Chains A and B, each alone.
Chain A
Amino acid sequence: MIAPPPAGPVPWDKGFAQKLLADMLRIRRMEEKCAELYGAQKIRGFLHLYIGEEACAVGAMHALTADDNIVATYREHGHALVRGVSMNAIMAEMFGKSAGCSRGRGGSMHLFDAATRFYGGNAIVGGGLPLAVGFALADKLQGRRAVTACFFGEGAMAEGAFHESMNLAALWQLPVLFCCENNLYAMGTALARSEAQTDLCAKAASYAVPTLKADGMDIVAVHEAMKLAAAHVRDGLGPFFLELQTYRFRAHSMFDPELYRDKAEVEEWKARGPLHTFSARLKAEEKLTEEEFLAFDARANAEVQAAVDFAEAAPWEPVEDLLKDVHTP
């Protein structure tokens, strides 16, 4: 049973609300262009699009501070962008250029940026969770009041790494915010086909970690839940588990023929899409006009075009540098 589209009042001032809408638009337009560039073979390898899930990254990231650490997955373009990695650097990375945020060594699945404490970009499902525990341990031992926000999908909750990390974080009361973006499918395997316990919060709660569930298509719900969760973690009350219930509108990757789900189901979820529902709510409250929406959209498209031009023009890393950075010089 799919819930009705997100509705209701937006408890934010116009400027903040529009900022979050604009960020969702930036992710959407960037990724639509990525899909096109994949077809044109400018972007290669695996490309996992976040389209449909934008409210999660945008709502969550705006509840964090510059001192916090971010650990994400291979579906992380949106997280990187809204965290502050430039679209130029992200696009150049996907082109494999040395101007990319990982010098072209990582590609779509491995975006990194030290300046914004963005620690990947991890293509091992569940691989980021132990790392997040370590960041939090370092912060705790060094007396920093930072939050480590660890994003992962519901598929990661079948991995041992999830259980080991939850236990360590809870046992040591570490400042980790475990943020599960539950998009219902681990690649092509539906949650109920892979988990005996489909109530994800119940799994997390078994480690004595407080949990919260929010509608991941509703940016208001995401942001408010994330604020609560981040405050709990920042106040030294230990880890927190937040489940964001979301849906990806596109295939798992560019190789996925989507045999595992009904087109009707996808359409139903699209009716809950974060962009148009949030825009409609803002318009109803007179916090957004159609002209403003079009202006944000045009700005996002211009940023995307500039990023593509930047990536096209950027030089390739010389092959002589191949072995550079295997070790610290």
Chain B
Amino acid sequence: MKMTYREAVRQAMHEALAADPRVFLMGEDVGKYGGTYACSKGFLEEFGPERIRDTPLSELGFVGAGIGAALGGLRPIVEVMTVNFSLLALDQIVNTAAALRHMSGGQFSVPLVLRMATGAGRQLAAQHSHSLENWYAHIPGIRVLAPATIGDARGMLGPALADPDPVVIFEHAQLYNLEGELPADWRCDIASAAVRREGTDVSLITYGGSLPKALAAAEQLAAEGIAAEVIDLRVLRPLDTATLAASLRKTHKAVVVDEGWKSGSLAAEVMACIVEQCFFDLDAPVARVCSEEVPIPYAKHMEEAALPQVPKIVAAAKQVIGK
């Protein structure tokens, strides 16, 4: 069945709401407006205002309320409009949701699912475009997901809701209009990375909104006789380093593609893992393609220049394999 990423997110939430009365959706404009990205269109009419709960512009307040509601026996899906706005709620996420279980000696789990849009590419400038997934991936106590395909957009929410601990789901804003076939076996885990394209010459390791770019780069490389393997991290915390290591043992070369800024990036963590675990498998230094270290600018040509793009990925891959 062909559908958009948006529709896959919508179906996943619909299924969860229909299946479990403890599940409810809360966030800015999720109800009357139908969701900033139209992922909850029609839900208010179908499930009512108690379960499709429009909130005031109070990220700290409603994310914290989601944590409390989770502790109180519900299964909240809390939607934050963008990762930039989630910074207003960071205290509740880091100091409470992630810490509570350990800090209380294992007495309280927080079964909260937090969804938010992330990433650039729509000329929304420096306060709506950032990729801060690695900030969240730094924190023990939460699981961080980055569905990059129609199947994962459909499949990851179920297990995220079943997880007794907090799960943060990043949906790259450029992916909502992505169209594709929903695989028959869309049910999936929230623990492993996935090989999206097999290859033997170089591993392109990426996640989220950069996956389509990495796949396009692999296509171009193939035309030049280079077989690139594309790894979709899918789960940014905890990282599935076994899948990375298996790929590196085959290709011996890697390029990490990450829309986050280079310094202190998730790419840096992936590279460190590769060096720790696969140093003697490597035939070349590991390379990375990240965003330029600048607040994302508005002007289209400048924004494009700031982000990882297919030609940069292709160039990095060729450099790594010495072509």
Residues of B within 8 A of A139 (CB): 72
Q: Which of B55, B103, B140 has the most CB of A within 10 A?
A: B103
A residues at B contact (CB < 8 Å): 69, 98, 100-106, 110, 112-114, 119-122, 124, 127, 129-139, 141-142, 148, 160-161, 164-165, 167-168, 171, 324-328
* A168 adjacent to B67 (CB under 8 Å): no
Residues of A within 8 A of B50 (CB): 141
> Least Cβ distance of B58 to chain A in Å?
4
> Least Cβ distance of A303 to chain B in Å?
22
**In whole angstroms, how far apart are the Cα atoms of A110 and B61 in the complex?**
21
The stretch among B3-11, B90-98, B175-183, B263-271 that forms the contact with chain A is B90-98
Closest 6 A-B residue pairs measured CB to CB? A134-B68, A130-B64, A138-B72, A103-B105, A164-B61, A325-B106
Residues of A within 8 A of B73 (CB): 138, 142
Also in contact, A104 and B105, with CB within 8 A (given A130-B67, A130-B92): yes
Known A105-B102, A129-B64, A131-B67; 9 more pairs at CB < 8 Å: A101-B105, A104-B105, A110-B103, A112-B108, A120-B100, A134-B72, A138-B72, A164-B61, A328-B165
Residues of B within 8 A of A113 (CB): 107
Residues of B within 8 A of A167 (CB): 56, 58, 61
Partner of B140, one of A114, A142, A326: A326
**In whole angstroms, how far apart are the Cα atoms of A124 and B89 in the complex?**
13
Residues of B within 8 A of A327 (CB): 101, 141, 143, 165
* B67 adjacent to A134 (CB under 8 Å): yes
> Least Cβ distance of B145 to chain A in Å?
15
* B56 adjacent to A106 (CB under 8 Å): no
B residues at A contact (CB < 8 Å): 24, 50-51, 55-56, 58, 60-74, 76, 91-92, 95-96, 100-109, 140-141, 143, 164-165
Beta-carbon nearest neighbor of B95 in chain A: A124
* B63 adjacent to A138 (CB under 8 Å): no
Residues of A within 8 A of B141 (CB): 326-327
Also in contact, A130 and B60, with CB within 8 A (given A328-B109, A328-B164): yes
**In whole angstroms, how far apart are the Cα atoms of A171 and B24 in the complex?**
18
> Least Cβ distance of B62 to chain A in Å?
7
Partner of B72, one of A103, A120, A122, A135: A135
Also in contact, A132 and B68, with CB within 8 A (given A326-B140, A326-B141): yes
Also in contact, A324 and B106, with CB within 8 A (given A130-B92, A138-B72): yes
Partner of A114, one of B51, B67, B108, B165: B108
**In whole angstroms, how far apart are the Cα atoms of A176 and B140 in the complex?**
30
> Least Cβ distance of A217 to chain B in Å?
31
**In whole angstroms, how far apart are the Cα atoms of A34 and B165 in the complex?**
34
What are some 20 contacts across the A-B interface (CB < 8 A)?
A105-B103, A110-B103, A110-B104, A112-B103, A112-B104, A122-B96, A124-B95, A130-B61, A131-B65, A132-B68, A135-B72, A138-B68, A138-B70, A141-B50, A160-B60, A164-B56, A168-B55, A325-B106, A327-B141, A328-B109
Residues of B within 8 A of A124 (CB): 91, 95-96
CB contacts between A and B, total, < 8 Å: 144
Beta-carbon nearest neighbor of B107 in chain A: A114
Partner of B64, one of A98, A104, A112, A134: A134
Partner of A127, one of B58, B66, B71, B92: B92
**In whole angstroms, how far apart are the Cα atoms of A105 and B108 in the complex?**
13
Beta-carbon nearest neighbor of A324 in chain B: B106
Partner of B105, one of A105, A130, A148: A105
* A133 adjacent to B108 (CB under 8 Å): no
**In whole angstroms, how far apart are the Cα atoms of A172 and B76 in the complex?**
16
Residues of A within 8 A of B105 (CB): 98, 100-106, 112, 325
Partner of B69, one of A103, A105, A134, A326: A134
Also in contact, A131 and B68, with CB within 8 A (given A112-B105, A326-B102): yes
* B74 adjacent to A141 (CB under 8 Å): yes
**In whole angstroms, how far apart are the Cα atoms of A120 and B69 in the complex?**
15
Residues of A within 8 A of B96 (CB): 122, 124, 127, 131
**In whole angstroms, how far apart are the Cα atoms of A325 and B66 in the complex?**
21
Beta-carbon nearest neighbor of A325 in chain B: B106
* B24 adjacent to A141 (CB under 8 Å): yes
**In whole angstroms, how far apart are the Cα atoms of A232 and B223 in the complex?**
73
Beta-carbon nearest neighbor of A120 in chain B: B104
Residues of A within 8 A of B101 (CB): 325-328
Also in contact, A161 and B60, with CB within 8 A (given A138-B74, A327-B141): yes
* B107 adjacent to A112 (CB under 8 Å): yes
Also in contact, A102 and B60, with CB within 8 A (given A127-B92, A138-B68, A139-B72): no
* B58 adjacent to A164 (CB under 8 Å): yes
Beta-carbon nearest neighbor of A140 in chain B: B50
Residues of B within 8 A of A105 (CB): 102-105
* B66 adjacent to A134 (CB under 8 Å): yes
**In whole angstroms, how far apart are the Cα atoms of A101 and B60 in the complex?**
28
Residues of A within 8 A of B61 (CB): 129-130, 133, 161, 164-165, 167-168
* B165 adjacent to A119 (CB under 8 Å): no
Beta-carbon nearest neighbor of B72 in chain A: A138
**In whole angstroms, how far apart are the Cα atoms of A101 and B279 in the complex?**
45
* A137 adjacent to B60 (CB under 8 Å): no
**In whole angstroms, how far apart are the Cα atoms of A33 and B263 in the complex?**
49
